[in-house]
Amino acid sequence: MSAPAPALHLNRSLRRFDIMAMSVAAVISFDVIGQIATGGGEAVTWVGVVAAVFLLPYALIFAETGAAFPQEGGPYVWVKLSFGRAAAALTTMFYWVTNPVWLGGSLAFVAAQAWDGFVFPLGSGTVADYLFKLFFIWAAILTAVVSLRRGKWVTTAGAAAKVFTLAVFTGTAVAYGARHGFRGLEGTGFSPTGAGFLALVPVLLFAYVGFEAPNAAGDEMLDPQRDVPVSIGVAGLIATCCYLLPVLAILSAAPAGAVTGIGGFMDAAGLVFDVYGSLREPLLTATAALFAFALLTQGSAWMIVADRMQAMAAADGGFFSRSLGAFHPRLGTPVRMNLLSGITATVFMAAAMNLAGGDASAVFGVVLSVAITTLLLSYLCIVPALLVLRLRRRDVPRPYRVPFGTPGFTLATVFVYAWILLGSWVALFPGTLEPLFGLGYDFRTTWGVSRTAFEAFTLGTVVLLLAVSTAGYLAQRMHAQPDDDERESGPAR
């Protein structure tokens, strides 16, 4: 199986700094920081443990593969070379759809919550609420539509906003603790537990995956062989710090049991910003606006890369019509796929608004779980594809290699795959493993909805995606000409 033919109208504009900034903008998830903090003191412990035993091997294998196979489309190309077009089309569908679902669900809801509480009242389910979320979705899509040469500066600004906001918040929390005492940590246990682990593992994996995303724009990088490994390493270190320190800061300031997933970060900011006296309100307003902007650019970064992956799948004959994979001759972006993402995000936002009677907290948790599920399921095929490429494509130059060669690569892949399997199961069927270990689990208290409603939304989404992906692949195959594969594909580079 050959790699897809190079896309037309692409311009090489991504330098090492741009790749690194895009990774930070995409991977550091403001919306999951509060969700992680709901795990209490042991969340800090698990953040560090998962970084050491999952993120490290994950970064190693993706750094090697990303440098060796830097073609446009990234993971789509890797899975196609390993398992064929059908598997690649299905995998890419799950990887891609995660992002409009996440944009229209989790990100839009968290941004609206922050805006409503600290900038301008929107209400819940009001016209203003809908308009804000629509603007949020389509502003993110617009930044993916513009040329990458310009769009990359939006994601770079978002990455800077995230790091700056988290640094200011963490420093303010320390100042607040020094003045009032770190009361949030009193009685907080950092000892890991089985229940805490099972509750946190899907969201922590979701928080740490995605460093390979810029490879979807591989043909737009100036020197991917040298820049990808370094970018993944630096971005991984930044991400670990940007999760570990703010979670610890939230726990130190917020009273025990007061941290919520959707409002965790801004609620904690509202508390610790008391140290600024009369400047508290304007600083909170500015922080909330910066918070919403960072969330928007987070969606933008994922739209930029995921839409390119899905466009390459369509252009290669894996999704309905090859025309969906066309790149605009002037902008060099997959505009049709961008618009499809915007429509999907809008539809999902409207559906989520009617879930759980509009309860923002319940909606956020369930929608985030859907996004976690679809993304982790895509890695069930992506991760073994890396090992297949390592074993079967030994002739491809590898500028960076995992320590200890093939045995080291294999061991790292097995570790990562075991984590992905566990995270996928827990995300899709929460509360099913706890009884095996004698642990209690109250589903409605945890999720705010019944198990029936939860599974109908999550499993229903997965089944729908399988149906759409299969239909898209078969529709394109039915219209394919006998010589399409030879004409449309080129050799792996």
pLDDT digits (tens, 9 = 90+) for 317-326: 888 888 888 8
Q: How far apart are CA 402 and CA 418, in angstroms?
A: 19
Predicted confidence at residue 53, as pLDDT, reads 93
Residue 422: Cβ within 10 Å count: 17
Does the structure show a pLDDT above 90 at 473?
no
Predicted confidence at residue 138, as pLDDT, reads 95
Q: For 192-217, what is the mean pLDDT?
A: 88
Show contacts of 337-340: CB within 8 Å, 24+ apart.
337/307, 337/308, 337/310, 337/311, 338/141, 338/144, 338/145, 338/303, 338/307, 339/141, 339/145
Is residue 361 within 8 A of residue 448, CB to CB? The reply is yes
Bigger pLDDT: 223 vs 354: 223
DSSP state of 103: I
Predicted confidence at residue 488, as pLDDT, reads 45
The amino acid at residue 145 is: V
Q: Which of 278, 236, 256 is nearest to 185 (CA)?
A: 256
Q: How far is CA 300 from the centre of its chain?
A: 11
Q: How far apart are CA 72 and CA 310, in angstroms?
A: 11
Q: How far apart are CA 97 and CA 73, in angstroms?
A: 15
3-class DSSP state of 2: coil
Q: For 102-119, what is the mean pLDDT?
A: 87
- pLDDT band at residue 184, thresholds of 50, 70 and 90? low
Which residues contact residue 185 at a Cβ distance below 8 angstroms, ignoring those fewer than 6 apart? 41, 251, 252
pLDDT tens-digit readout, 410-445: 999 999 999 999 999 999 899 899 888 888 888 888
Q: How far apart are CA 18 and CA 224, in angstroms?
A: 11
Average pLDDT, the chain: 85
Q: How far apart are CA 66 and CA 78, in angstroms?
A: 9
Q: How far is CA 39 from the centre of its chain?
A: 20
- pLDDT band at residue 258, thresholds of 50, 70 and 90? low
Taking each helix axis from N to C end, the angle separating 194-208 and 360-392, rounded to the nearest 10 degrees, works out to: 70
Q: How far apart are CA 40 and CA 121, in angstroms?
A: 30
Q: How far apart are CA 308 and CA 147, in angstroms?
A: 12
- pLDDT band at residue 359, thresholds of 50, 70 and 90? low
**Greatest pairwise CA separation for the chain in angstroms:** 74
- pLDDT band at residue 489, thresholds of 50, 70 and 90? very low
Q: Which two tokens stand for residue 121?
A: 């009242």
Is residue 174 within 8 A of residue 249, CB to CB? The reply is yes
- In the block, which residue shows the tokens 């991760």? 383
Predicted confidence at residue 404, as pLDDT, reads 92
Is residue 424 within 8 A of residue 373, CB to CB? The reply is yes
Does the structure show a pLDDT above 60 at 356?
no
Predicted confidence at residue 8, as pLDDT, reads 63
**Of the ranges 140-149, 373-382, 468-477, which one carries the lowest mean pLDDT score?**
468-477
Q: How far apart are CA 423 and CA 442, in angstroms?
A: 19
3-state secondary structure 195-226: HHHHHHHHHHHHHHCCCCHHHHEHHHECCHHH
Predicted confidence at residue 486, as pLDDT, reads 46
Predicted confidence at residue 493, as pLDDT, reads 37
- In the block, which residue shows the tokens 């933008």? 300
pLDDT tens-digit readout, 42-92: 888 999 999 999 999 999 999 999 999 988 888 999 999 999 988 999 999
Q: How far apart are CA 412 and CA 54, in angstroms?
A: 9
- pLDDT band at residue 287, thresholds of 50, 70 and 90? very high
pLDDT tens-digit readout, 228-251: 999 998 988 988 888 888 888 888
Q: How far apart are CA 136 and CA 295, in angstroms?
A: 9
> Could you give the residue ranges of the DSSP H alpha helices within 209-353?
224-253, 264-272, 280-315, 335-353
Does the structure show a pLDDT above 80 at 449?
no
Residue 277: left (phi > 0), alpha (psi -120 to 50), or beta?
Answer: left
Angle CA 148–154–160, to nearest 5: 130
Does the structure show a pLDDT above 90 at 349?
no
Q: For 461-490, what is the mean pLDDT?
A: 71
Q: How far apart are CA 284 and CA 289, in angstroms?
A: 9
Q: What do you get for the CA distance between the two ends of the chain, in Å?
A: 13
Is residue 480 within 8 A of residue 314, CB to CB? The reply is no
Does the structure show a pLDDT above 80 at 3?
no
The amino acid at residue 261 is: G
Q: Which of 16, 305, 254, 294 is nearest to 163 (CA)?
A: 294
Task: Give the torsion sign (CA, 342, 344, 347, 351).
Answer: negative
- Please classify residue 442 by burial: count the beta carbons closer than 10 Å to its beta carbon, then call 0-12 exposed, 13-18 middle and 19+ buried: exposed
Predicted confidence at residue 462, as pLDDT, reads 86
Q: How far apart are CA 318 and CA 313, in angstroms?
A: 5
% of the chain beyond a pLDDT of 70: 90
- Please classify residue 183 by burial: count the beta carbons closer than 10 Å to its beta carbon, then call 0-12 exposed, 13-18 middle and 19+ buried: middle
Q: Which of 353, 311, 258, 338 is nearest to 40 (CA)?
A: 258
Bigger pLDDT: 26 vs 485: 26
Task: Give the torsion sign (CA, 4, 7, 12, 15).
Answer: negative
Predicted confidence at residue 490, as pLDDT, reads 41
- pLDDT band at residue 491, thresholds of 50, 70 and 90? very low
- pTM for the full predicted model: 0.87
Bigger pLDDT: 180 vs 80: 80
Does the structure show a pLDDT above 50 at 169?
yes
% of the chain beyond a pLDDT of 90: 31
Predicted confidence at residue 384, as pLDDT, reads 96
